[in-house]
Structure formats: C-alpha cells, structure tokens
C-alpha cells in the first residue's frame, strides 16, 4: 500500500527559459508534487516527525524555482524531483511544472512537464 501527500499550485517566480526576455523579466511557475510513502506510523502516532513536513518541502522547492536559471522546464522538474526524493521515506515522486506564461504566439491555457521517479531511478 502506498499513501500520498499532494501539494498543488505552489507558485514562485523564476527566470527559466531559453529566451533572453524570460531570463531578464522572469515569470511565475506553478508546481504540483505528489509524494508516495507509507504514512501509517505518522497517522498512528499523530507525529509530524514520522512524515514529510510539506511546509518545509514547499520552502525547499521554492528555493529551486527561484534559484539558478535553467533553459528547460524539464531540467527544473528534474531538480525538483531530487528535492522530493531527498527524504528516504519517499518511495516515488511526481512533479508537474506549469509554465502558464510561456512565450507561445497563440492563445493557450497552460504548458506543463510531468516527471515521475522512484528512489531506484535517481
């Protein structure tokens, strides 16, 4: 059995992209994260130390989003996956990076990249 912790719509400003304007002006990125792990001990003991503190996780993810710029949101998603898998209790993680203001010359709702990795695939 695998339990899940989900964090949706984490928003932070980053300077990622291949265009000079993206690097100069920045834009908001939205991130969704799903962590798969066993939550029985945390639930049984009502103990935060036996689970992933999603507030702390959000802070670490924001540091990556607002940190060193990359060209591709695929690279950003991969870096965010590494943060999620840093906690040994997490067996698998899925990260979706949304770039709602991507420089596309047509009307669109969203562009996103979704990546999923297990601990063995790191």
- Decide: 80 and 64 in contact? Cβ < 8 Å: yes
Q: Is 63 a catalytic residue?
A: no
- Decide: 6 and 34 in contact? Cβ < 8 Å: yes
Give the residues across from 10 on adjacent strands.
31
**Cβ-count burial 50-74 (b if 16+ within 10 Å, e if not):** ebbeeeebeeebbebbeeeebeebe
Catalytic annotation, pick one of 8, 50, 63, 99: 99
Number of Cβ within a 10 Å radius of residue 49: 8
Active-site amino acid positions: 99
């Amino acid at each position: 059995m695998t339990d899940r912790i989900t964090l949706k719509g984490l928003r932070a400003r980053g300077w990622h992209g291949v265009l000079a304007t993206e690097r100069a002006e920045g834009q908001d990125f939205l991130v969704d994260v799903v962590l798969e792990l066993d939550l029985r001990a945390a639930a049984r003991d009502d103990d935060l130390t036996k689970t992933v503190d999603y507030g702390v996780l959000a802070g670490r993810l924001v540091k990556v989003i607002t940190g060193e710029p990359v060209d591709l949101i695929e690279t950003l998603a991969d870096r965010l996956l590494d943060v999620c898998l840093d906690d040994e209790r997490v067996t698998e993680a899925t990260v979706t990076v949304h770039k709602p203001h991507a420089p596309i010359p047509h009307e669109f709702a969203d562009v996103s990249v979704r990546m999923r990795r297990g601990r063995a695939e790191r």
